[in-house]
Amino acid sequence: MLERFEVHDTTLLEGGRDEWVVASAHLAVDPASLANLRIADLDVAPRDDDGLVRFDADVRVLRPTTASNGRVLVVVPNRGMTGGVPFSLDADPMRAALGIPDPGDRFLLDRGWTIAWCGWQWDVARAQGYLGVTAPVADVEPGWMRVEFRLDAAQPDHPLSDSSPFFQFTDYPTVDVDDLDAVLTVRPTPLGESVVIPRSDWRFSDTRHVEVDGGFEPFLWYELVYRSAYAPVAGVGLLAVRDVGAHLRESHDHALAFGVSQSGRFLRQFLFDGLNVDEHGRQVFDGVFAHIASARRGEFNERYAQPSLTHPLTPSYGPPYDTAGLLETQRAVGGAPKLFLTNSAWEYWRGDGALVHQDAVTGADLPEDPDARAYLIAGTDHIGATAIKEFMPTANPTHVLDAATVMRALFVRLEQWACDGEPPPPTRVPRRSDGSAVERDEVLKKFHGVATPDVGTLPWTPMIDPESTQWPLALGERRVALVSDVDPGGNEIAGIRLPAVAVPVAAYTGWNPRVARPDLPDVLYEFVGSRLPLQSSDAVPDRATREAQVRAAARTLVDDGFLLEEDLERVVDDTVQLFDEEEK
């Protein structure tokens, strides 16, 4: 429970229209409470004299100073960053990482929403302004763990964490720099066969770094299995979001939660562990929106957890994948929210996106869950419209499809469902029943004159024991991987089709191979799609005809509930401008 909400600073913004609050949540939880029993190692965490485990979390609140609608959106930070205000357009990207987020067009604020960010990740650099949580450290015996990484450039050494040139996380130190039982391996593909690097060729340069003779090479997957005794109780981050959400809910009529990518996976874990009721049994969030989280969870509630992981497979990527399985515990304890699960085409091409709504063994369509909706946003990728793609080593050009307008229409549909009882549009995803869900090799055969990945190297989801604590991780039989089929031009036919996909001048995909290297297989590069020539011979219509077709496609999205009327003209203008830039 939240013992104290400490406000450190309050700043008026936008000429007094908004209020920005910098605060800390001081929390105390009973390890013996039924509401907390699923938190790993909480029972061996340090306790105060009253038997409670205490910790604190960073909180930020942005709210309009007048005209509140009585609703609060709790945003789960991605790797400690506040980011921009969700569902806003025209936000300054330079303000999106840390500090006060840019409200952009004030979509939520002008509707009276309070927006709160709650730190939950124990290993972020809080001293640099990232939002995190102070996790108690359990007193445990040394145990085995792993650090796995893939680099885009050569590197002389690597920290014992998931740190990268972009993010720095707290390391898990080794218990013995001379440990002869530690093992370093390397492989050329995500799920390829690993080769052991002789112990004489690598070493711990100190308790927090590993180095190898000649340095670590780019585009190879390295895995180090070693022992550590540093065991922060990572799962208190889940309790922080629960109890801060419960506190905010007390002063609001409704509460929703939102997370993207890592933080979307966090919300799936939150529901998997049945944490949407507080210690008094009261429901916390009426609705949960998890974007590009796919069918995965993450290392958010286990010993030696690395919440920041981007590439490695982990036991929490095991079953359940589907929504009914995900919500089983939550339904048993009560408080199941209305749930939106949205994904880009890239999550499907990684081999796990369709597991949300398909049988993992047969690929058969699963029935719609009564409390959830799933949507594929066709042709989009994990990163979206960002300039960072220009610097990624991809074989094909990337694209800048932007799903922001669709996302905010979906948020309104979730709000109407969770708060007002108005059902949203049905799930829209690839289906075996209508022929829109196919194997990935079938799609790749339809592309000619462009770079494609080696089919044998495509990532896939293995059967993983979700309770496994053994490293290297045992990988079982592969789960079925289905994606959307494509039309003659090469654009996906299933899901929500942006006007740029429905009336295209190019083929937009959720896959893009890494730049070719003669000594390595052609694998998919992570997170990005391709912008390719249309694969059909049909002529592109003239500008006037095309604009009319784009407007008709946008109108269809409005009619179907996937675009707000107020955003129609903007989408038409942006799509026409995109086409003009594509043809230059």
Question: What was the pLDDT predicted at 94?
Answer: 59
173 CB-near residues (< 8 Å, 6+ apart): 160, 207, 208, 228, 230
pTM of the model: 0.97
Per the domain annotation, does 499 fall within a domain?
A: no
CA-CA distance, 256 to 161, in Å (whole number)?
32
User: Is the same domain home to 108 and 240?
Assistant: yes
456: which 2 tokens? 């044998």
Query: In the predicted model, what is the mean pLDDT of residues 475-486?
Result: 97
Per the domain annotation, does 569 fall within a domain?
A: no
| Last-in-domain residue among 272, 302, 336 | 336
User: Is the same domain home to 124 and 175?
Assistant: no
Question: What was the pLDDT predicted at 95?
Answer: 67
User: Is the same domain home to 33 and 131?
Assistant: yes
Residue 535: pLDDT band with limits 50, 70, 90: very high
Q: At what angle are helices 262-272 and 236-249 packed, to 10 degrees? A: 80
Question: What was the pLDDT predicted at 537?
Answer: 67
Question: What was the pLDDT predicted at 54?
Answer: 98
Per the domain annotation, does 242 fall within a domain?
A: yes
What pLDDT digit, counting tens, does each position of 33-76 carry? 999 999 999 999 999 999 999 999 999 999 999 889 999 999 99
Please, are residues 330 and 336 in contact by the beta-carbon 8 Å criterion? yes
| Last-in-domain residue among 336, 355, 390 | 336
User: Is the same domain home to 262 and 129?
Assistant: yes
State how far the alpha carbon of 415 is from the alpha carbons of 60, 71, 79, 241, in Å: 22, 10, 26, 20
CA-CA distance, 486 to 489, in Å (whole number)?
8
The pLDDT of residue 93 is above 80: no
SS3 326: helix
| Last-in-domain residue among 204, 228, 252 | 228
Domain span holding position 67: 2-135+233-336
What pLDDT digit, counting tens, does each position of 268-305 carry? 999 999 999 999 999 999 999 999 999 999 999 999 99
Question: What was the pLDDT predicted at 213?
Answer: 98
pLDDT, mean over the chain: 95
User: Is the same domain home to 219 and 243?
Assistant: no
User: Is the same domain home to 80 and 100?
Assistant: yes
User: Is the same domain home to 259 and 123?
Assistant: yes
User: Is the same domain home to 206 and 250?
Assistant: no
Query: In the predicted model, what is the mean pLDDT of residues 522-532?
Result: 97
In the chain, the number of structural domains is 2
On the question of a cis peptide bond just before residue 320, with omega within 30 degrees of 0, the verdict is: yes
CA-CA distance, 369 to 50, in Å (whole number)?
43
116: which 2 tokens? 């709160």
Query: In the predicted model, what is the mean pLDDT of residues 90-97?
Result: 68
What pLDDT digit, counting tens, does each position of 94-114 carry? 565 567 888 999 999 999 999
CATH number at 168 reads 2.60.40
Q: Sign of the C-alpha dihedral, residues 354, 145, 243, 333?
A: positive
DSSP conformation class of 388: G
Residue 574: pLDDT band with limits 50, 70, 90: very high
328: which 2 tokens? 């089983």
User: Is the same domain home to 104 and 150?
Assistant: no
The pLDDT of residue 327 is above 90: yes
